[in-house]
Amino acid sequence: MKRAHRYDVIVVGAGGAGLMAARYAAQNPNVSVAVISKLYPTRSHTGAAQGGVGAALGNITEDRPEWHAFDTIKGGDYLTDQDVAEAFAYEVIDAVYELEHMGLPFSRTPDGRIAQRKFGGHTREFGKSAVERACYAADRTGHMILQTLYQQSIKDNVTFFNEFHVLDIVIVDGECRGVVAFELATGELHTFHAKSTVIASGGNGRMFKVTSNAHALTGDLMSVVYRRGIPIEDPEFYQFHPTGLYRIGVLLTEGARGEGGILRNGSGERFMERYAPTIKDLAPRDMVSRAMYFEIRDGNGVGPDKDYIHLDLTHIDREIIESRLPDITEFARIYLGVDPVTEPVPVQPTAHYAMGGIPTNIDTEVIRDGNDTVVPGLYAAGEVACASLHGANRLGTNSLGDLIVFGRRAGVNAARFAAASPYGELPKTVQDYTHELLQRLRHGLGKEKVAHIRKELQTTMMDHASVFRTQETLSRQVEILRELKERYQSVGVEDGGQQYNTELMEAVELGFLLDNAEQLVHGALNRTESRGAHSREDYKERDDDSWLKHTLIYREGDGVRIDFKPVTLGKYEPKPRVY
């Protein structure tokens, strides 16, 4: 077999979750660990996270982990598994201190503690008022987490395979035995034989036209496992962040509103007062994004086409804006030519985060059905996974918390499993599937261009399956996806070379994106209720009697099969969600 490697633990992805998993796996002296990443680790999209990581440190005012757990559950519109949220709210405190001990340069309070600020949906005493829970490093908290974890991985001498693109996962007799990856520099395939595999490869926002997500976020592993019979949980819950830069979607942190920023419509009104009287602009993202669309639809948008909203920071001191929000200030200046210190910034909701993903239990073990049957040797953490911490809508800052808490759990558990298990045998044909996949694309008819299909995918997903959905738009999108997949069969790749064939990789990624869109649209069409980020205009209410359950989508033949999994409830009874 060509290019064979063997590590006890393989981590796929080198963002926050992957680096945390690698670090903790490597602390087990009995196992070898390697990280495979399609980018250089420091290019991972964790680095684009801005506002903060939520943890009830109470450095500014009193805070408690049970309040954080409750906010997470309510923010998730009660689809959050409550045991997961409780464990998370306690562990994230410890994890944030640990990051500080690794040297992470948090911003500081006057008395030298980690600085904290308000963020959407984070409250004290179960919803009474907004609370300062987001621990931040200016508006580049994700950058600092990624840098700090990468720095530690250098200290720990972690083995990396950079610019290796995982295209298949090896599942034999129901257990995971490693992955197959494409080396971008040479065009060669490599087999990574492993006892434990941790998937931490991030999200899939590139299926939408306006997104905060990097070009690299094409849902690769959500598709790879789906093609191998593992379901995807809750793909219909996709978050649109309220404040993307108008048209280009670049993220402006919710921390801007945490520092006092206000959303205004075309007549200058602070419209969030009508939608969330208590916490106003700091309502959870799903509610704010919908409110913005309502305003635009009612003719209250801003601009010549009345199709955007203003984020107004002009009443905040220049010094606070420049010191606490320097990056987003620069984004507005560069990309829109607008100075947030003196002018309101044009914003619109931007595709941001997949609440759903590869289903796992609370210990990050991947499960394959509604009975929580574990796939031995396979783990997932971070955005690619669904534990389900975020339920139907993630609260701001909980993605970074998720990475460090569940990345750590994945590393520990994967290493423990590997230390106690033998290597399973690999089939001789292990690379055949991937080889054929690439050959098909390399020698495709070339009647269709990857870029054209991708653009149509992104535009139609935005029109039919984004913030608002109906039976009609979703059914139309099912048809469109069927047609796009058909056309994808005849795409071609002009670059015949082996080395750095980025065109070939874009073609592969488009196939992944089409699978991700299929999962989302079928989940959304099937769920005839509105909950969290999934808003059906033809079924406007949450329906706990029929729908307080997780979706599981399987690929079956050319279509999909849908199953369900119960929500783990706890002390918080589902209630109407008002803020």
Partner 1 sequence: MQITVKIKRFDPEKDKRSRWTEYRLEANPMDRVLDVLNEIKWEQDGSLSYRRSCAHGICGSDAMLINGVNRLACKVLIKDLGNDIAIEPIRGLPVEKDLIVDMESFFDSYEAVLPYFINDDPVPAGERLQSPEEREIFDASTKCILCACCTTSCPVFWVNGRYLGPAAIVNAHRFIFDSRDRGTDQRLEVLNQPNGLWRCRTAYNCTEACPRDIPVTKAIEDVKRVLLWRTS
State in angstroms the smallest separation of the CB of 27 from partner 1: 15
Question: Residue 163's closest CA among 149, 183, 148, 139?
Answer: 183
Q: Name the token pair of 97.
A: 């201190």
Residues in the chain: 579
State in angstroms the smallest separation of the CB of 42 from partner 1: 5
How far is 135 from 117, CA to CA, in rounded Å? Answer: 7
State in angstroms the smallest separation of the CB of 62 from partner 1: 15
Is residue 253 involved in binding partner 1 (CB under 8 A)?
Answer: no
State in angstroms the smallest separation of the CB of 336 from partner 1: 8
Is residue 97 involved in binding partner 1 (CB under 8 A)?
Answer: yes
Of the candidate residues 4, 126, 298, 335, the single one contacting partner 1 (CB under 8 A): 335
Is residue 347 involved in binding partner 1 (CB under 8 A)?
Answer: no
Residue 520's identity, in one-letter code, is L
Number of residues that bind partner 1 (CB under 8 A): 60
Is residue 373 involved in binding partner 1 (CB under 8 A)?
Answer: no
Structural element, H or E, at residue 407: helix 398-419
What beta strand segments (E) does 255-339 contain?
A: 262-264, 309-312
Q: C-alpha dihedral over 409, 413, 415, 416, to 10 degrees?
A: 140
Of the candidate residues 334, 528, 541, 575, the single one contacting partner 1 (CB under 8 A): 334
Distance of CA 324 to the CA centre of its chain: 24
State in angstroms the smallest separation of the CB of 458 from partner 1: 12
State in angstroms the smallest separation of the CB of 441 from partner 1: 12
Q: Which is nearer to partner 1, 151 or 421 (CB)?
A: 151
Is residue 167 involved in binding partner 1 (CB under 8 A)?
Answer: no
Of the candidate residues 16, 18, 47, 261, the single one contacting partner 1 (CB under 8 A): 47
Alpha helices in 111-174 (DSSP H): 141-155
State in angstroms the smallest separation of the CB of 536 from partner 1: 32
Residue 573 neighbours by CB under 8 Å, 6+ apart: none
Is residue 545 involved in binding partner 1 (CB under 8 A)?
Answer: no
Is residue 214 involved in binding partner 1 (CB under 8 A)?
Answer: yes
How far is 526 from 547, CA to CA, in rounded Å? Answer: 10
Is residue 319 involved in binding partner 1 (CB under 8 A)?
Answer: no
Question: Residue 448's closest CA among 493, 478, 479?
Answer: 493
How far is 181 from 505, CA to CA, in rounded Å? Answer: 12
| DSSP notation for 456-519 | HHHHHHHHHSSSSB-HHHHHHHHHHHHHHHHHHTTB--S---STT-HHHHHHHHHHHHHHHHHH
Catalytic residue of the set 124, 177, 257, 285: 285
Of the candidate residues 283, 414, 426, 450, the single one contacting partner 1 (CB under 8 A): 450
Question: In this chain, which stretch among 172-180, 328-336, 379-387, 473-481 interacts with partner 1, using CB under 8 A?
Answer: 328-336
Of the candidate residues 27, 103, 303, 537, the single one contacting partner 1 (CB under 8 A): 103
* Catalytic status, residue 542: no
State in angstroms the smallest separation of the CB of 302 from partner 1: 18
Of the candidate residues 6, 32, 64, 100, the single one contacting partner 1 (CB under 8 A): 100
Instruction: Give me the residues paired with residue 491 across strands.
Output: 448
Question: Residue 34's closest CA among 58, 6, 62?
Answer: 6
Is residue 92 involved in binding partner 1 (CB under 8 A)?
Answer: no
Is residue 226 involved in binding partner 1 (CB under 8 A)?
Answer: no
Phi and psi, residue 558, nearest 5°:
-90, -5
Question: In this chain, which stretch among 139-147, 295-303, 514-522, 536-544 interacts with partner 1, using CB under 8 A?
Answer: 139-147
What beta strand segments (E) does 40-106 contain?
A: 53-54
Residue 200's identity, in one-letter code, is A
Question: In this chain, which stretch among 74-82, 133-141, 347-355, 417-425 interacts with partner 1, using CB under 8 A?
Answer: 133-141
Is residue 42 involved in binding partner 1 (CB under 8 A)?
Answer: yes
How far is 233 from 56, CA to CA, in rounded Å? Answer: 28
Of the candidate residues 495, 526, 554, 568, the single one contacting partner 1 (CB under 8 A): 495
Whether the CB-CB separation of 20 and 425 falls below 8 Å is answered with no
State in angstroms the smallest separation of the CB of 93 from partner 1: 9
Is residue 90 involved in binding partner 1 (CB under 8 A)?
Answer: no
Is residue 154 involved in binding partner 1 (CB under 8 A)?
Answer: yes
Is residue 106 involved in binding partner 1 (CB under 8 A)?
Answer: yes
Residues numbered 283 to 312 that lie near partner 1 (CB under 8 A) are: none
Q: Which is nearer to partner 1, 141 or 191 (CB)?
A: 141
Q: Which is nearer to partner 1, 3 or 43 (CB)?
A: 43
How far is 287 from 464, CA to CA, in rounded Å? Answer: 19
**Residue found under tokens 């996974």:** 385
Instruction: Give me the residues paired with residue 379 across strands.
Output: 198, 365
- Side-chain half-sphere exposure of 382, counting CA atoms within 13 A: 30
Of the candidate residues 128, 215, 270, 561, the single one contacting partner 1 (CB under 8 A): 215
How far is 312 from 241, CA to CA, in rounded Å? Answer: 16
Q: Name the token pair of 489.
A: 């069969």
State in angstroms the smallest separation of the CB of 523 from partner 1: 27
List contacts with partner 1 (CB under 8 A): 39-40, 42-45, 47-48, 57, 97, 100-103, 105-114, 137-138, 140, 143-144, 147-148, 151-152, 154-155, 185, 214-216, 250, 327, 330-331, 334-337, 449-451, 493-495, 497-503
Residues classed as catalytic: 285
